[in-house]
Each structure stands twice: as structure tokens, then as C-alpha cells.
Amino acid sequence: MPTTTAVRRLPHPAREEIRLATVLHALSDPMRLRIVTALDPHGEGEGLGATCSEVDLPVSPSTVTHHFRVLREAGVINQCYRGTAKINCLRRTDLDALYPGLLDAVLAAAKREL
């Protein structure tokens, strides 16, 4: 019996479609800041990242899904499926190219406040 290796893809904005106002809105929520802070040590790229369940948030699973979707649609994170799990990582390269120093400043401030 043949098996398929179809990859489920999620929509992400291209680098040139990422807008500062959308990024700042996504980062304005404390739960999303916790997600970004938790993903930072995992790096960026193929095979790197963390599943949604690895990020401990004190909210319902549907709310967790919402927060990850807002970050993905804003261009802050990349999500890809590995089997049935969504793997998440920051889009540091894209954000640093568009807004140098922004992510580092946000992460530093979030770590002080969390």
C-alpha cells in the first residue's frame, strides 16, 4: 500500500508583506510575548523550534491556538507541521532584516517583565 508524504502548509506572509503595525499588535499581548520568549532559545530554521504544547500558557487550548495564529499571520513566527504536531520558531532573520533591533528589544523588555 503506497504512502503519501503530503506536507500540510500554513499561510505565512512573505517578508515584504510583514508590516510593523501588525507585528507590534501581535507582540502587544502578554500571552503572545510569553510565546515569543519561549521560542527564542529554539533557534530558526528547518528542524528547529518547539511544539505549541511545549509552551506553557495558563489559557485554554483554543486560546493558545489563537495566539499562535496571530503571531504567524503577523510574520513573527513560522509554523510547519511535523507529523501531526505544529513546530514553531521565530522569524528572526526576516524581522531583523526589516526592523533591526526590534525583536531583541522586545525580548529584553519581556524577560524583565515576565
Q: What SS3 string covers 40-86?
A: HHHCCCCCCCEEHHHCCCCCCHHHHHHHHHHHHHHCCEEEEEECCEE
Model confidence at 29: pLDDT above 80: yes
Give the residue from 10, 71, 7 showing the smallest Cα distance to 39.
71
Model confidence at 5: pLDDT above 70: no
pTM of the model: 0.89
Q: What is the pLDDT of residue 113?
A: 82
Model confidence at 73: pLDDT above 90: yes
Specify the range with the lowest mean pLDDT, choosing from 12-16, 36-40, 61-65, 82-86: 82-86
- Quickly count: other Cβ atoms within 10 Å of residue 30's Cβ: 11
Model confidence at 19: pLDDT above 60: yes
Laid out side by side, the sheet with 50-51 consists of: 50-51, 85-90, 77-82
